[in-house]
Amino acid sequence: MSDLYRSALSARIAKLPSLPPGMNGDEDEDESNEAADSVGSLPGSGMGPPAIPTRHPRAQARAPNPDFAPISAASFFAEAVQVSVPSRGLDCRVYYTPPASPDGTVMVCHHGAGYSGLTFACFAKEVTEMTKCECGVLALDARRHGKTTSTTEKADEDLSIEVLVADFAEVIQTVFADPAAAPTLLLIGHSMGGSVVVRACPILLERKYRITGVAVLDVVEGSAIEALPHMHNLLNARPDGFNNLEDAIEWHVSTKTIRNARSARISIPSIMVHDPDAPQPYRWRTPLRSTAPYWLSWFKGLSSTFLKARTARILVLAGTDRLDNELMIGQMQGKFQMVVIPGVGHMLQEDDPTRLAEIMVEFWRRNERVVVGVKKVGDA
């Protein structure tokens, strides 16, 4: 959130094991289309500071740069499936690598606004390799994002926090239908997604799921809300579209919205949609201006909800972002762990997936295997 705040102020895959009814694999889908899911976001979804803080003029068509060609995500998750969630009117895209043991742990990841589950692709591979698949990773595409689609005629425009939290909880309940047989869950949310997972935590606990911890990535309520009035000016620096996917990926890398070109080549393509009749045929899947009515709902009350979560808590930041009063007091009281990753931007899970994986695996090991009588990190 620090990069976003400063810039605002200055301006096949196989099938899931024992798939519940309504979940179908995508065997026929072109793997090249799995190359990504990411778009610049708003407060807490990472647009990063644009390289040139002016509206980009329409660029003349040029040959695609092969250095920024999309990379298939097929080797980063074990499976990609569409999960039918009738109660929410959604056909939800889920990327999943299960743990080796049925009683293992799964890190469940929710992206920020404008992005998709594939923003966690490189991170997921790092986690499974570091833990030798002892810990699995599940990442999903939220409503109006990535490859999640509506299954009803009713518009799915509503991205208020209540809707997103209900969606998330129902997807988890669909994938892991029996809480008693479900793996232990570690909830991870980037920016807007951080707000979703901390609010979903008590719902899932009430439904008897085992939650070993909750992680919020690069968003602080105070600075996020302060940045909101500046967001439209920041969005003015974003192009309306691109001539090809390579241009879209290159823009994200050249503006340092995403500082890891390999990750951008995986995560960007599916946040774009192809409109051959448009002057620039590759356009944003989730135009961020359309999400403006929901920005305040995402972040208001985030700090208190995070501190009240009845599980271990960790806040991972991209810089020495100032904490708001609630978090500052909570940190002094030892209510959560805080880690700052140097040399990254708002999209820290893409910029340095190895370091984030190290942090989260250490957090998981400390709290999942805690010695009897010793409090977990974040326990009051």
Across 92-96, 156-160, 197-201, 283-287, least confident range: 156-160
Each residue's pLDDT tens digit, 305-358: 999 999 999 999 998 667 899 999 999 999 999 999 999 999 999 999 999 999
Number of structural domains found in the chain: 1
For range 275-297, the mean pLDDT: 95
So what's the pLDDT on residue 30?
A: 40
Q: How confident is the model at residue 272 (pLDDT cuts 50, 70, 90)?
A: very high
Three-state secondary structure call for residue 273: strand
So what's the pLDDT on residue 212?
A: 96
Q: Which residue in the block uniquely carries the two structure tokens 């393509």?
A: 269
Rounded to an integer, what distance in angstroms lies between the CA atom of residue 193 and that of residue 153?
A: 26
Does residue 374 sit within a domain? Answer: no
So what's the pLDDT on residue 379?
A: 53
Each residue's pLDDT tens digit, 183-206: 999 999 999 999 999 999 999 999
Each residue's pLDDT tens digit, 215-234: 999 999 999 999 999 999 88
Does residue 378 sit within a domain? Answer: no
Residue 251: CB atoms within 10 A of its CB come to 22
Catalytic residues: 191, 218, 346
Does residue 128 sit within a domain? Answer: yes
Each residue's pLDDT tens digit, 105-141: 999 999 999 999 999 999 999 999 999 999 999 999 9
Question: Which parts of 65-191 are beta strand (E)?
Answer: 79-85, 90-97, 105-110, 135-140, 149-150, 184-190
Structure token pair of residue 357 = 């994986």
For range 150-163, the mean pLDDT: 89
Residues paired with 337 in a beta bridge:
314
Q: Which residues of 50-70 are buried (b: 16+ CB within 10 A; e: fewer)?
A: beeeeebeeeeeeebeeebeb
Higher pLDDT pick, 152 / 16: 152
Does residue 37 sit within a domain? Answer: yes
Instruction: Give the global pTM.
Output: 0.86
Does residue 377 sit within a domain? Answer: no
Q: Is the pLDDT of residue 369 over 90?
A: no
Three-state secondary structure call for residue 184: strand
Across 80-89, 147-156, 346-355, least confident range: 147-156
Q: How confident is the model at residue 280 (pLDDT cuts 50, 70, 90)?
A: very high
Rounded to an integer, what distance in angstroms lies between the CA atom of residue 88 and that of residue 280?
A: 33
Q: Are 309 and 74 in contact (CB under 8 A)?
A: no
What is the residue range of 211's domain?
2-368
User: How buried is 371 (Cβ within 10 angstroms: 0-12 exposed, 13-18 middle, 19+ buried)?
Assistant: exposed
So what's the pLDDT on residue 122?
A: 98
So what's the pLDDT on residue 380?
A: 46
So what's the pLDDT on residue 376?
A: 52
User: How buried is 113 (Cβ within 10 angstroms: 0-12 exposed, 13-18 middle, 19+ buried)?
Assistant: buried
Does residue 191 sit within a domain? Answer: yes
Across 88-102, 145-159, 211-225, least confident range: 145-159
- Domain at 76, CATH number: 3.40.50.1820
Structure token pair of residue 52 = 């040139």
Does residue 135 sit within a domain? Answer: yes
Query: Which is it for strands 105-110 and 184-190: parallel, antiparallel or unpaired?
Result: parallel
Each residue's pLDDT tens digit, 35-66: 333 333 343 333 344 434 434 444 467 889 99
Each residue's pLDDT tens digit, 1-40: 444 444 443 433 334 444 444 454 443 344 444 433 333 3
So what's the pLDDT on residue 40?
A: 35
Structure token pair of residue 146 = 């990535």
Rounded to an integer, what distance in angstroms lies between the CA atom of residue 89 and that of residue 379?
A: 37
Q: How confident is the model at residue 154 (pLDDT cuts 50, 70, 90)?
A: confident
Does residue 375 sit within a domain? Answer: no
So what's the pLDDT on residue 60?
A: 61
Structure token pair of residue 45 = 């979804």
For the chain, how are helix, strand and coil distributed in percent, rounded to 5? 40, 15, 45
Q: Is the pLDDT of residue 377 over 70?
A: no
